[in-house]
Amino acid sequence: MSELPPVDVYRSLVLFDVEGFHFEISIMVTDNWQFDEAELRRIAESIVVIPGAATDTTVWTDQPIG
């Protein structure tokens, strides 16, 4: 019996601020690496929410955060 090849899995956590501004954080998990929801939430806590960003198009960017 042969081993199955590694599977890439995306885990997502969807967050909403009080104005309904939508954030989705996705982490790619490879080679059966365990990534639990608590770790995903710790990453989410480091994201800065800009008040009014949902209606102010000047804060949008297509560049990666970081």
**1-45: pLDDT as tens digits:** 445 445 555 666 666 655 666 666 666 666 666 666 777 677 767
Domain boundaries, the chain: 1-49
Q: Which residue has the higher pLDDT, 63 or 22?
A: 22
d(CA 45, CA 16): 12
pTM assigned to the model: 0.32
DSSP string, 13-62: EEEE-TT--EEEEEEEE-TT----HHHHHHHHHTPPP-TTTTT-GGG--S
Residue 42 main-chain phi, psi, to 5 deg: -65, -40
Residue 4's pLDDT is what? 47
Q: Which residue has the higher pLDDT, 47 or 3?
A: 47
Q: Judge whether residue 51 has pLDDT over 70.
A: no
d(CA 1, CA 9): 23
